[in-house]
């Protein structure tokens, strides 16, 4: 009587140990990556110190490296992408869950998600041959006519620029934000909408006051997922952003991102210092991505707790 039970006990134990092993392997991998990045970046950290973060010279010939333009470019292009993508993606999600005729929902959702399946190098080519000429002929002239006085639209637009990089990124992250937001909105109970409508709210008021607040935590999560992808995107960005180690607040000027610089320069980085400097860029990108995700976590926790408190008050 006891033996089968014992046997099951043992198999359970093995099962648990295997699972624990696998589960621990992933965090361990992250620690190892961080360790490798840090050891390899250390010579550059020691040599350049804090100036690496704040100076703009990137000169492999005289071995002087400063990553400020890349840090700026990464943040600026991702922020620009979010500014464009979030309204677009949320509109798509709201339209698909609340307003679209039933037979339109699946096909449109599928097409939006299809955008995520396009390889980024194809986005890059499309950026060079379609997006940039389009921006040059139809977007930048009217923008300059209206907002030309702001510092964000100074200088001549040559095509490859922060603007082009941000727009490409926006298109690339829309499907992620839209797909997750749609799932979040679908999970909002119908009773929420019905209650608002019963109070005499219009469809739009119901979405704004009942549906969106309910799904707030999930929506923030969707946006952060998009941001995370934008920060690390490499190929499409490098093909259109201009790859220039310079800081300019003008969207029309070329810029650079950390991921693009590593991809471009690593294979031909022949000196130890050069390699180490690129490793430090990788380390900064890693830390930045982790920080963004941590902030997102905290935001979601706080929002979720707020919602819970709110519902208890009801």
Partner 1 sequence: MKPTRYLSLAALLGTALPAAAQVTLNGAGATFPNIIYSDWMLTYNQSHPDVKLNYQSIGSGGGIRQFSDGTVDFGATDAPMSDSAITAIQGNVLHIPMVLGAVVAAYTLPEVSQPIRISPDVLADIFLGKVTKWNDARLASINPGVTLPNQDIIVVHRSDGSGTSFVWTDYLSKVSPEWAQKVGKGTSVSWPVGLGGRGNEGVAATVRQTPGAIGYIELGYALINKMPFAVLKNQSGNWITASLESVTAAAAGAMKEMGPNTDFRVSITNSPGARAYPAASFTWLLVHKSYSDTAKARSLVQFIWWAESEGQAKAPELGYAPLPQQLRPWIQAHLKSVTAGGRAVL
The site for partner 1 (CB under 8 A) is made up of: 57-62, 125, 128-129, 132-133, 156, 158-160, 238-239, 242-245, 254, 256, 260, 263-265, 267-270, 274
Q: Which is nearer to partner 1, 179 or 260 (CB)?
A: 260
Closest CA to 301 of 293, 291, 290: 293
Q: Distance between CA atoms of 130 and 120, rounded to whole angstroms?
A: 15
Within the chain, where are the H helices? 2-48, 51-54, 68-94, 102-114, 120-126, 132-134, 140-147, 162-187, 190-198, 203-206, 212-214, 216-232, 235-240, 258-265, 272-313
Cβ proximity to partner 1: between 1 and 268 the closer is 268
Residue whose CB is less far from partner 1, 3 or 267: 267
Q: How far is the CB of 149 from partner 1 (least distance, A)?
A: 21
> Which CB sits closer to partner 1, 243 or 276?
243
Nearest approach, Cβ of residue 163 and partner 1 (Å): 13
Q: Whole-number minimum distance, CB 170 to partner 1, in Å? A: 20
**Cα–Cα distances in angstroms (integers) from residue 7 to residues 10, 15, 18, 294, in the given order:** 5, 12, 17, 43
User: In terms of CB distance, is 123 or 176 closer to partner 1?
Assistant: 123
Q: Shortest gap between Cβ of 132 and partner 1 (angstroms)?
A: 6
DSSP state of 136: I
How far CA 241 is from CA of 41, 119, 159, 256, 258, in Å, comes to 26, 17, 8, 6, 12
Least CB distance to partner 1 at residue 211 (A) = 43
Minimum CB separation from partner 1 for residue 153, in Å? 17
Compare residues 120 and 181 and give the one whose CB is closer to partner 1.
Answer: 120
Considering only CA atoms, which of 245, 49, 255, 269 is closest in space to residue 169?
Answer: 255
Structure letter (DSSP) for residue 57: -
Instruction: Round to whole Å and give the CA distance between 96 and 111.
Output: 12
């Amino acid at each position: 009587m006891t033996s089968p039970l014992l046997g099951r006990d043992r198999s359970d134990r093995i099962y648990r140990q295997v699972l624990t092993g696998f589960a621990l392997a992933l965090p361990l991998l992250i620690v190892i990556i961080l360790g490798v990045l840090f050891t390899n970046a250390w010579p550059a950290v020691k040599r350049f110190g804090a100036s690496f973060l704040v100076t703009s010279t990137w000169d492999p010939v005289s071995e002087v490296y400063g990553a400020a333009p890349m840090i700026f470019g990464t943040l600026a292009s991702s922020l620009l992408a979010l500014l464009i993508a979030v309204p677009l993606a949320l509109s798509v999600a709201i339209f698909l869950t609340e307003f679209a005729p039933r037979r339109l929902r699946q096909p449109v959702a599928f097409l939006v998600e299809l955008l995520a399946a396009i390889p980024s190098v194809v986005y890059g080519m499309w950026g060079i041959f379609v997006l940039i000429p389009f921006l040059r002929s139809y977007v930048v002239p009217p923008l300059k006519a209206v907002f030309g006085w702001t510092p964000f639209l100074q200088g001549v637009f040559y095509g490859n620029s922060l603007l082009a990089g941000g727009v490409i990124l926006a298109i690339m992250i829309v499907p992620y934000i839209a797909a997750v937001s749609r799932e979040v909105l679908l999970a909002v109970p119908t009773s929420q909408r019905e209650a608002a409508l019963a109070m005499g709210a219009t469809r739009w008021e119901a979405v704004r006051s009942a549906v969106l607040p309910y799904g707030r935590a999930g929506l923030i999560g969707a946006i952060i997922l998009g941001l995370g992808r934008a920060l690390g995107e490499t190929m499409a960005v490098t093909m259109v952003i201009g790859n220039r180690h310079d800081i300019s607040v003008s969207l029309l000027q070329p810029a650079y991102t950390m991921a693009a610089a590593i991809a471009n320069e690593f294979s031909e980085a022949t000196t130890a210092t050069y390699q180490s400097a690129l490793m430090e860029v990788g380390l900064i990108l890693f830390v930045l991505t982790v920080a963004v995700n941590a902030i997102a976590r905290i935001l979601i926790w706080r929002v979720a707790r707020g919602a819970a408190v709110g519902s208890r008050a009801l």
